[in-house]
Amino acid sequence: MELTKTKSIKLLQKSKLKLKCLAIQQPKTKHNVEKMIETTSAMIKDIRTNNTRLQNQTLENLLDLFSIDVEEQYKALTK
Domain ranges of the chain: 5-78
Flag whether pLDDT at 1 surpasses 70. no
Cα–Cα distance for residue pair 43/35, rounded to 1 Å: 12
Query: Of 56, 58, 47, 61, which Cα lies nearest the Cα of 4?
Result: 47
Checking if the pLDDT of 40 tops 90, the result is yes
- 71 pLDDT band (50/70/90 cuts)? confident
Average pLDDT score over residue span 40-59: 88
The residue-averaged pLDDT of 51-69 equals 85
Residue 44, pLDDT > 90, answer: yes
| Whole-number Å distance between alpha carbons of 5 and 35 | 23
Higher-confidence residue of 56 and 46: namely: 46
